Structure 1
Amino acid sequence: MTAAPPPFPPPALFALREVLDPAGPGPDALWLKGSAAEMGAEMGAELGGGTGAKTAAKTGGGPRFPLDLAPGARLSTDTWFNAFPLAWWRAHARPDPLVFAWEGEGAMTVALFHAPASGGPPVLMARIETEGAGALPLPEPEPAAPGRLWAEIEARGPARLIAARWATPVPPAPNGRLTVGLCAFGRETALTALARGLLEAAKTTPALARVIVVNQGDPFDDPQLNRLLEAPLFRVVAQPNLGGAGGFARGLAEALAAEPGPGHHLMMDDDIELDPRMIPRLAATLARLAGPTAIGGAMLDARAPGRMHEAGAVIGRYGVVRAVGHDADLSAPPAELLSGAAPVDFNGWWFFAVPRDTARAAGPPAPVFLRGDDTDYARRLAAAGAPTATPPGLGVWHEPFYAKATSWQHYYDLRNRLAWCAAHAGPEGLPGALDLLERIWSPALSGDHACAAWRMAALRDFLDGPAILSRPADAVHAGVLALAAGLSPEAAPPPDGLPRLAPGRPETHGDHAKGFARAIAGALVGLVRRPASAPFAVIPDREAAPGLVRMRAHVRAGREDAWFRLHRPRPGLALAQAARALALVLRYALRGRAAARGWGPGLDAARAPDAWAARFAAPRSHDECPDECPDA
C-alpha cells in the first residue's frame, strides 16, 4: 500500500497559481502538453492498481490529476492556462520570490524554463532530479526581460504527479472578501450550470462571500435553478430590464451595501461557461496585487474553444476598441499573449473584478443600457486609481460576438461611443462629420436600411443631449426596436447555388467615393427599372460595401456562416435615407461641439446613486419588447 503523501503545498509555501489539469472546457493543449497529456488514462496501470493509480478522464478525454507517468513520459506546463506569466506578474503583483512546487511519487526530473515576451529560444533556469514531492526556486537574478515561465517534468521510471503549483514563501496580504454579481435575462439553462459551478468554486475559495443574481426577465421557471439559488451563497433580486449596464450596476450596489470593507466585486455574464477553478485562481491573484487593480478574465470562443476571442482590449481614437489576442490559436499562442506583456485599457464584463473601495470612489456605471458601459467604467476606475489588467490563464468561454447578426445594437454602439468621446475627450475628441456620414450612407446604400435608421437615431439623440438617459430604459429600447419596423433583413437558410464573393475582393476596399457613386447610380436606375428580387451572391457581412452591392439583392453571411440574412435594397428608401443623413450630419457639423459639452455633466447626473435607486424601484414590464428584448 502506498504511504500517505506529505502535505501539499509544503507548509512554508503559499500557492500563487495551481497547475490545472484538462478538466475544463477546451482542447487539452490549453492545459498540458507532452507525451503524458497525450497518453492519458492508459498510464494508470504502470503503478499497479488502486483507485489512486488511475487517471480519471473528463468529458472530451483529457487526463486528470493524479496523473500517472510511464517511464520516459514528459509533461509541460507551457500552455495558456499553466505557464506562469512572469511579465504580467512583475508588472501588477508584489515582487515575491517564486517557487515551483509539486507533489508526486516516483523518480522525476523537474526543469524550469523562461522565454522572453518578444519570443526567442527558451532558457533553462533550474533543474533537479527528485523522488516524490519537492520544490524548485526560481534562481536569482530573474530575467532582465521577463516573459513567461514553465515547468517540464520527465518520469525516470513509473511516477505519479499528484499536484503542482507556482508558490512563494511570502504569505498573502489580507484582501477582503469576494462578491459576485450576475446579470440574468432568461437564459436559465446556462445560469443553472453557472450557479452549480459557483457552488463548486465556493468549496475551495474561502474569500467568496456572496453571489448576487439580478434577474431582469421573468421569474425563473427551472426547478433545478430555483433549488440551487436557495443556497446561502446566493441572493436574487428582481428589477426592470435596464440592460447590462443596469443589471451590473444593481449587483455592484448590492455588494457595496452588504460588504463595507475592502475586497473585490466580480461581474459575470449569465451565459458564460465557467471552469469553477477560475474563481480560486482569481482570488489568489487578487491577494497578491501590488496596488488597486481591476482584474479581467479573457473571453475564449465557445464555438471554437481553443481560440481566443479577446484578452482585454485597448481603446483607440474615437473610442474604437482593439481586442488583444483576437483569434489567437491557444494551442500555440504568441509569446506576448502567454506572458501578458501587452497592456489593456478595459475588459468586458463577462468576467471583471473591481476593487470595491475604488468602485465607491468612482461611483456607479452610466445608465446607457448596453454597449460601451464597460469601456467608460474602466476609464473612471483608472482615474480613481485602479487600472485594468487581464492576466493570462484566467478566462471563461462565451458565445463570440460574430455568432449573432448585429441589429438594434447599432443604435447603442454609435450613441454611446459619441457620448464617451464627448465625456472623456471633450468636443475635440468627436469623430469628424464625414466619418459619420460614411457610417450612415454605407448601410443605406448597401441595403441595410434598418442599420441606417438606427445610426441616424443615435446621432439625433446624441445631438439632443443626455436628457434621454432620464427616460425609462425599456421605453427607449421599445422606440429603438420600432425604428426597424418593415426595414430589417430576413433570416435566410444556408444558400445553395449562389456564388460566394471571397473576403478581401479589390472592389470591396477601393475608393469610398467611387463606391458611393456606383451605389447612388444603381439607386437612380432602380427608381425607373425595378431591381431583380433574387439575390445575386453571398457576401461576407463585413464586405457588403455599397460599391460591391450596387443596390442588388444579396445574402449576407456572418463569420464562419454563423448566420445568413437576405437583404433587398430599396432604391427610393436608400436615396431618402442618404438625404436625411446628409441633413443630420450637417446639423452635427454645426452643433456637435455644443452638444458634446452637455454629455459629461449629464452622464454624471444620470449615474448618481439616487438616480439608480429610482430606476431599480420602477415597475417591471416587458410589454414594450415582447419579441426581442436585449440580452442583459
Structure 2
Amino acid sequence: MSVADKLESTTAAAESEQWRTLQRVILPTDDQVDTLPLYVDAGSASGIRLRENDELARSPKLPEDKLQLFSSGGPKAHFDDILSRQSMNVRAGEQVSFGTYFNAFPASYWRRWTDVRSVRLEVTTTGHGSITVSKSNARGSAQHVESTTVNGAANTVFDLTLAPFGDGGWYWFDLAADQDGMNMVEAQWTMLDEAHTDGQVTLEITTMNKPDYCLNNARILAANPEALENVKEILIVDQGTKKVRDEEGFAEVSASLGGKLRIIDQDNLGGSGGFARGMYEAVENGSDYALLLDDDVVVEPESILRMLAFADRCKKPTIVGGHMFDLHNRSVLHTFGEVVDPHRIVPAIPHADMDMRHDFSIANLRQTSWLHRRVDVDYNGWWMCMIPTAVIKEIGLSLPLFIKWDDAEYGLRARAAGFATVSLPGAAVWHVSWLDKDDMVGWQSYFHERNRLITTLIYSPYPKGGRVLRESVQADVKHLVSMQYFTEHGRLEALKDIFKGPEQLHGVLATKLPEINALRGQYADAQLQENVDDFPTPTLGRGPMGGTPVGMPRKKDLVTWGLKTVARQLVKSPNADAAVRPQSVLAHRDSRWFRLARYDSVVVTNAEGTGMSWYRRDPKLLRSMLVESAQLHARLVREWDGLATRYRSAVAEITSMEAWKKTFDAHSRDEQ
C-alpha cells in the first residue's frame, strides 16, 4: 500500500469514528440566577472550613475528619457572563471552574456501573487563555491532570482514563483568560461508541391537583427539544379534579411537544397507582425505559439525556435516579443518596460523613470532600427515576401502596432480583424539601405506618422485624402524649389493615384516603384554621414552665420520663380552662413531642405555615388508644411469621401487569 493510500485509509477511519456525547457542559437559564453555583464557580479551593463547632477552632490540632476545604474569598462567577445554555464569557484575567455539581464528570459512577474505561473532553473556545483538567480521588484530593494554552478559535481535546476511580472521584476543567479574555463556545464529555443505539423513553408524570407544576415542566421540556429526541411519549397521569388540560396555555404547550403528550385520567390511586400506570404504558408501547417524575418539581432537562446515556451503557439493566434539590433554596442538595437501614427499616444515609442538605453556595464540589466518595444506594426517590422495562417485565410494577415506601420497596425488590439502583450525580430536579412538610402527622400517618410494616414483613432479615415494632409502639406513645389523636387513629387503622393481608391492597387504593379524611370531624387536632386569631386568646402564664422552652429528656432518663408523662396524662384531669382556651401557641418548629406532652391545650402551626390546629388533652381517648395499640402490637408479634410469608408470597401477583390492568380498567376515565 502506498503512502497516499495509507493516508486516505487513516482519514476514512477517523471520519467513521462515532464520538457520542455522554454529558454536555450546561449553564443555567435566565430565570435560574440562584442556581449558578451548581453550574460554574470561580477561584480555587483553599483554606479550611470547620464542620462541627467553634470549639474545634480553639483546638491545638484539628482532627482530619472534622475539616473541610473552603473558598478563601476569591472572585465570583458572574451570571451576566453566561451567553447561552452552553457558552460563557471568561473575563480578562479571571478564572472559572466547571468543577461543579452539574458540569464535573462523575468518573467513579461510570467506572463502577458501565464498561466505559476512557472518555474524551472536548472544549471549544475563542480568545486567549488556558484550559486545565483536574481530577479527584475518593478522599476529595484534587490532582492536576493536564493543561494547555489556547489562542483564537480552538477545539481542544483531552483523552482521559477512568481506571483510577474505583471508589470515587470526578474529572473537571477550569478556564483562565489572559488580558484579552476568552469565551467557552461549548464543551462535552464524549466516548468512542460506533455501534450504540439510544434507548427509547416514556416520560411519565403523576399529578393530583397540581396542573400549574405539570404545565411548567411541559414548557421546560418543549423548550429543550434535544432532551426529547429519544422520548417516545410524555404521559401525564391526571388523578385530580383540577385538570391539566383545563389549565390556561395547555393547548399551546401540547402543540409545542409535537404530538408526544398524552393524558390519562384515572381515579386517585396515589403515587403508586400513577407511577405503576407509567410503568405499564412504557412496557405496552415498547419503550426501553419508564422515566418517572413527580408533579411538583422543576426539572433540569439535561438530566434526561445524561440518565439515558448512562443507563444505555450500564453492564446490565440498572435503575438510574436523579438527585433532589430544594425548590425553595435552589443551591441546597437535599440528599446525595439513600439506603434502607435493615434493622429499623427507615431511610438512612450510606456514609456517616455525608451531610444532609448540603449548600453549594457555601461550599462547592471541589471544596467538599465527602461528595467525591461514590455513594451506592438501595433505591432512588420517584421524584425522578428511570426504570428499564426489562426490570419491570421481570419483577413487576409498584406495590399498590398508594403513597409512601413504594419507591424504596421497588429498589429493594430490584436489588433482590440482581438489579442495582444508581443515584447519578449531575441529574436532578428541584422539589419541595421534607423540612417544609410534616407527613408523619395527619392523614399520611396511616400510609407511613402500614407501608413501613409491609416493607418490613417482606424484606426484614431480623426476627420480628428487628426494631420496627418497638419503634412503632414508641411512635404511638409520642403521638398520644402530643394530643395528635387523629394521627394516632390513622396509625391504629394501619395496624388493623395489616392483618387483612396483601390481597386487599388493590381494592382499597381509591377508597382508603376518603375513609381516613372522613374521620377528621371527630378530632380537634385535625381542624385547621387560617389564623391564630381564629382561636380564643391563650391563658397568660398558664402554660407549662411559664412558657420557658422545654428540652428533650436525656437518653438515660427517657424511659422514666415517658412513664411519668403517660401516667400523668392518664390520671390527671386537664386544667379546667384548657377546654375553653389554649394555654399557649407553638410554632411548628417548637412542637416537638416532649414539649407538647406538657400541655393540656395548645394551638400549633402546621409545617406549611398555612394554618393552625388546637390540640386538647383527652385522658379517656388516650387510654383507649393506648390499650388498642398494645393489643394490636401484641397480636402482630404473635402472627408476624405467618404474615411475613403471606406478604412475600403475594408480591409477584399483586405487582403483575395483569393485576394492575384490572385496577386501571376499574378506575380509568376518558383518555386524551
TM-score by length of 1: 0.85
Q: Structure 1 residues 232, 509: closer, same or farther in 2, change over 3 A?
A: farther
Q: Distance in 2 between matches of 1:281 and 1:616?
A: 32
Secondary structure of the corresponding residue to residue 184 of structure 2: strand
Give the corresponding residue for 2:260. Answer: 233
Q: In structure 2, what residue type is equivalent to 1:155? A: A
- 2:246 matches 1:224: no
Q: Distance in 1 between matches of 2:604 and 2:548?
A: 10
Per-residue deviation at 1:143?
5.7
Q: Is the 8 A contact 2:119 2:162 kept in 1?
A: no
- 2:280 matches 1:253: yes
- 2:328 matches 1:328: no
Give the corresponding residue for 1:453. Answer: 489
Give the corresponding residue for 1:33. Answer: 41
Give the corresponding residue for 1:319. Answer: 345
Give the corresponding residue for 1:628. Answer: none
Give the corresponding residue for 1:193. Answer: 216
Q: In structure 1, what residue type is equivalent to 2:359? A: D
Give the corresponding residue for 2:460. Answer: 425
Q: Distance in 1 between matches of 2:264 and 2:413?
A: 26
Q: Is the 8 A contact 1:86 1:146 kept in 2?
A: yes
- 2:436 matches 1:380: no
Q: Is the 8 A contact 1:180 1:265 kept in 2?
A: yes
Q: In structure 1, what residue type is equivalent to 2:565? A: R
Q: Is the 8 A contact 2:122 2:157 kept in 1?
A: yes
Q: Structure 1 residues 340, 350: closer, same or farther in 2, change over 3 A?
A: farther
Q: Is the 8 A contact 1:245 1:369 kept in 2?
A: yes
Q: For 1:606, which of 625, 632, 654 is the aligned residue?
A: 654
Per-residue deviation at 1:393?
1.2
Per-residue deviation at 1:598?
1.6
Secondary structure of the corresponding residue to residue 189 of structure 2: strand
Q: Structure 1 residues 372, 145: closer, same or farther in 2, change over 3 A?
A: closer
Q: In structure 2, what residue type is equivalent to 1:29? A: P
Q: Structure 1 residues 576, 145: closer, same or farther in 2, change over 3 A?
A: closer
Q: Is the 8 A contact 2:108 2:166 kept in 1?
A: no
CA deviation vs aligned residue, 1:564-616 (integer Å, no higher than 9, x gap):
54422223222221122222222223233333322222343322322211211
Q: Structure 1 residues 291, 412: closer, same or farther in 2, change over 3 A?
A: same
CA deviation vs aligned residue, 1:333-369 (integer Å, no higher than 9, x gap):
5646643611111011110001111111111111111
Q: Distance in 1 between matches of 2:317 and 2:162?
A: 28
Q: Structure 1 residues 205, 340: closer, same or farther in 2, change over 3 A?
A: farther
Q: In structure 2, what residue type is equivalent to 1:410? A: S
CA deviation vs aligned residue, 1:472-513 (integer Å, no higher than 9, x gap):
422222222233332234446677999987696446995144
Q: For 2:187, which of 142, 155, 164 is the aligned residue?
A: 164
Q: 5+ unaligned residues in a row in structure 2: which ranges?
A: 1-14, 44-74
Higher mean C-alpha deviation, range 538-547 or range 470-479? 538-547
Secondary structure of the corresponding residue to residue 584 of structure 2: coil
Q: For 1:102, which of 86, 100, 123 is the aligned residue?
A: 123
Give the corresponding residue for 1:626. Answer: none
Per-residue deviation at 1:447?
0.7
Q: Structure 1 residues 517, 142: closer, same or farther in 2, change over 3 A?
A: same
Give the corresponding residue for 2:57. Answer: none
Give matches, 1:551-630, under 5 Å: 551-556=599-604, 565-619=613-667
Q: Distance in 1 between matches of 2:429 and 2:344?
A: 29
- 2:320 matches 1:272: no
CA deviation vs aligned residue, 1:391-447 (integer Å, no higher than 9, x gap):
111100011223234221110111111111112237825246443221212101211
Q: For 2:586, which of 520, 529, 538 is the aligned residue?
A: 538
Q: In structure 2, what residue type is equivalent to 1:520? A: A
Per-residue deviation at 1:305?
0.9
Per-residue deviation at 1:259?
1.0
Secondary structure of the corresponding residue to residue 377 of structure 2: coil
Per-residue deviation at 1:89?
1.9
Q: For 2:516, which of 462, 466, 480 is the aligned residue?
A: 480
Per-residue deviation at 1:139?
6.2
Q: Is the 8 A contact 1:358 1:385 kept in 2?
A: no
Give the corresponding residue for 1:46. Answer: none
Per-residue deviation at 1:111?
0.8
Q: Structure 1 residues 508, 562: closer, same or farther in 2, change over 3 A?
A: farther
Q: Is the 8 A contact 1:201 1:279 kept in 2?
A: no
TM-score by length of 2: 0.81
Give the corresponding residue for 1:67. Answer: 88
Q: Is the 8 A contact 1:125 1:139 kept in 2?
A: no
Give matches, 1:295-374, under 5 Å: 295-316=320-341, 317-323=343-349, 326-331=356-361, 332=363, 335=368, 338-339=371-372, 341-374=374-407
Q: In structure 1, what residue type is equivalent to 2:108? A: A
Q: Is the 8 A contact 2:134 2:171 kept in 1?
A: yes
Q: Structure 1 residues 432, 69: closer, same or farther in 2, change over 3 A?
A: closer
Give matches, 1:204-223, under 5 Å: 204-218=227-241, 219=243, 220-223=245-248
Aligned residues: 592
Q: Structure 1 residues 557, 135: closer, same or farther in 2, change over 3 A?
A: farther
Q: Structure 1 residues 75, 163: closer, same or farther in 2, change over 3 A?
A: same
Q: Distance in 2 between matches of 1:189 and 1:140?
A: 43
CA deviation vs aligned residue, 1:71-94 (integer Å, no higher than 9, x gap):
212110121111211222211122
Q: Is the 8 A contact 1:339 1:392 kept in 2?
A: no
Give the corresponding residue for 2:66. Answer: none
Higher mean C-alpha deviation, range 279-288 or range 371-380? 279-288
CA deviation vs aligned residue, 1:186-210 (integer Å, no higher than 9, x gap):
2111111111122233334421211
Q: In structure 2, what residue type is equivalent to 1:31? A: Y
Percent of aligned pairs sharing the same letter: 22
Give the corresponding residue for 1:123. Answer: 143
Q: Distance in 1 between matches of 2:364 and 2:559?
A: 36
- 2:115 matches 1:88: no
Q: Distance in 2 between matches of 1:139 and 1:389?
A: 21
Q: Structure 1 residues 82, 37: closer, same or farther in 2, change over 3 A?
A: farther
Give the corresponding residue for 1:4. Answer: none
Secondary structure of the corresponding residue to residue 386 of structure 1: coil
Per-residue deviation at 1:536?
3.1
Give the corresponding residue for 1:515. Answer: 562
- 2:226 matches 1:178: no
Secondary structure of the corresponding residue to residue 158 of structure 1: strand
Q: Distance in 2 between matches of 1:612 and 1:144?
A: 41
Q: For 1:288, which of 291, 313, 323 is the aligned residue?
A: 313
Secondary structure of the corresponding residue to residue 211 of structure 1: strand
Per-residue deviation at 1:560?
9.2
CA-based RMSD: 3.1
Q: Structure 1 residues 129, 105: closer, same or farther in 2, change over 3 A?
A: same
Q: Distance in 2 between matches of 1:340 and 1:394?
A: 17
Q: For 2:435, which of 402, 410, 415 is the aligned residue?
A: 402
Q: Structure 1 residues 147, 64: closer, same or farther in 2, change over 3 A?
A: same
Give the corresponding residue for 1:411. Answer: 446
Give the corresponding residue for 2:25. Answer: 19
Per-residue deviation at 1:217?
2.0
CA deviation vs aligned residue, 1:133-174 (integer Å, no higher than 9, x gap):
211223686467541221111012321111112222344732
Q: Distance in 1 between matches of 2:216 and 2:409?
A: 30
Per-residue deviation at 1:563?
6.6
Q: Is the 8 A contact 1:427 1:596 kept in 2?
A: no
Secondary structure of the corresponding residue to residue 125 of structure 1: strand
Secondary structure of the corresponding residue to residue 124 of structure 1: strand
Q: 5+ unaligned residues in a row in structure 1: which ranges?
A: 1-8, 44-54, 57-62, 622-632
CA deviation vs aligned residue, 1:502-549 (integer Å, no higher than 9, x gap):
696446995144224224313421258564732335265586225762
- 2:169 matches 1:147: yes
